[in-house]
Chains A and B, each alone.
Chain A
Amino acid sequence: DTEVTQTPKHLVMGMTNKKSLKCEQHMGHRAMYWYKQKAKKPPELMFVYSYEKLSINESVPSRFSPECPNSSLLNLHLHALQPEDSALYLCASSPPGPTASQYFGPGTRLLVL
């Protein structure tokens, strides 16, 4: 299984809502990532988990809260988002190491009203 799955595919939320994005992989990868991608732009790294521990936070606002319950799952909890947070949120995973290829999920397209 070389697939990274993400749910939901689409999400519409108000600025006062709380929602969560989910990412799952069964490739045994011990590094997992969250990216944000605006239209016509490259993905921007948000968080990196390595062996279920948060290793990189790219100065992301606290309204985004990541969680890694186990080695296969990665969540992104959303609260009090702003309209400018509307974007495609991509999850990726990889084996550990600087040369490892990252495998991306299809993304969750988020619209904040």
Chain B
Amino acid sequence: AQSVTQLDSQVPVFEEAPVELRCNYSSSVSVYLFWYVQYPNQGLQLLLKYLSGSTLVKGINGFEAEFNKSQTSFHLRKPSVHISDTAEYFCAVTVDYKLSFGAGTTVTVRA
């Protein structure tokens, strides 16, 4: 079965610093990869997705991710974070209609 592993459970970062959230996937077939964000007391919001084509994917709020087939990774990056980026971030892989989420990474941005 396809799955994703998020390598960091918590990432503290200072405001205006860059951040990288790591996600590895396991699959021997085509993968569809997603990053979702969950702000406190809210539902999930799609940041970006990779289906095929260009390996660098740009999303909302200045986030981007790079699909690396050889390393089976889909890391999320932002060059400069804001306090408002404090949230839970989930990497996910889909097969048919099922989304399988990673355990999540808590990002805490400090001034």
Q: Do A and B bind each other?
A: yes
Please list the residues of chain A having a beta carbon within 8 angstroms of any beta carbon in chain B.
4, 6, 31, 33, 40-43, 45, 48, 50, 55-56, 90, 92, 94, 98-99, 101-107
Chain B residues within an 8 Å CB radius of A40: 104
Name the residue among B43, B96, B98, B103 with the largest chain A CB count within 10 angstroms.
Answer: B43
CA distance A40 to B51 in the complex (A): 28
Which residues of B55-111 have CB atoms within 8 Å of chain A's CB atoms?
90, 94-99, 101-104
Known A-B contacts A99-B32, A101-B49; A43 and B94 likewise in contact (beta carbons under 8 Å): no
CA distance A92 to B102 in the complex (A): 18
Say whether B44 faces chain A, with CB atoms less than 8 Å apart: yes
**Which of A4, A41, A102, A105 meets B99, CB within 8 Å?**
A102
Interface residues of B, CB < 8 Å — how many? 21
CA distance A63 to B99 in the complex (A): 23
Please list the residues of chain B having a beta carbon within 8 angstroms of any beta carbon in chain A.
32, 34, 36, 42-46, 49, 51, 90, 94-99, 101-104
Known A-B contacts A41-B104, A99-B32; A56 and B46 likewise in contact (beta carbons under 8 Å): no
* Cβ-defined contact, A104 with B51, below 8 A: no
CA distance A92 to B49 in the complex (A): 17
